[in-house]
């Protein structure tokens, strides 16, 4: 079974909005429906579905933030039924690889998450993200440095 990233469009957006995190994780991020709506107003951002073979199992939203001109992962989630199987780590590695080949990438990739979210902390650390501190809006910021 292979993990892949595929564009979200007319044929799969409704399936994407049905994906859910565990109940205890719901306060940690916006819904996929909100993210798909939000991206309509964020130039340069991309939403992709995460697939395990032909099954959609997650969602990611990333792009170049106009405030600091760095790539940010704004959303990353794996459906509750597929968590704790290593799929998140593999999908996150694919996202990092995809950003790394962009012509306009900078030397780092950033993301933010709730400082109380130990699951996110372990996942991001396992891929090479290093915490840099709490942002003014309250999230823990972590960065990945490209080689």
Q: What is the pLDDT of residues 46-72, one digit of tens each?
A: 999 999 999 999 999 999 999 999 999
Of the chain, the end-to-end C-alpha distance in Å amounts to 29
Provide the pLDDT confidence category of residue 25 given band limits of 50, 70 and 90: confident
Average pLDDT value for the chain: 94
pLDDT for the residue 70: 94
* Contact between residue 93 and residue 7 where contact means Cβ atoms under 8 Å apart: no
Q: State the average pLDDT over residues 93-98.
A: 96
* Contact between residue 13 and residue 59 where contact means Cβ atoms under 8 Å apart: no
Cα gap 77→89, rounded to integer Å? 11
Q: State the average pLDDT over residues 87-106.
A: 94
Percent of the chain with pLDDT over 90: 82
pLDDT for the residue 28: 82
Beta carbons within 8 Å of 103's beta carbon, 6+ residues apart = none
Cα gap 94→144, rounded to integer Å? 13
Closest by alpha carbon to 105, among 59, 143, 49? 143
- Tell me: pLDDT of 1 over 80: no
């Amino acid at each position: 079974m292979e993990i892949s990233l595929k564009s979200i469009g007319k044929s799969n957006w409704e399936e994407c909005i049905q994906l859910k995190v565990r109940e205890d994780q719901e306060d940690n991020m916006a819904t996929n429906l909100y993210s798909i709506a939000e991206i309509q107003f964020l130039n340069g951002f991309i939403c992709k579905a995460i697939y395990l073979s032909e099954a959609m199992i997650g969602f990611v939203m990333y792009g170049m933030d106009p405030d600091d001109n760095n790539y940010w992962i704004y959303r990353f989630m794996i459906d509750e039924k597929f968590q704790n199987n290593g799929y998140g780590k593999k999908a996150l590695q694919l996202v990092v690889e995809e950003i790394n080949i962009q012509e306009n990438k900078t030397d780092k990739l950033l993301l933010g998450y709730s400082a109380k979210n130990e699951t996110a902390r372990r996942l991001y650390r396992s891929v090479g993200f290093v915490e840099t501190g709490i942002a003014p809006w309250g999230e823990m910021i972590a960065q990945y440095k490209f080689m």
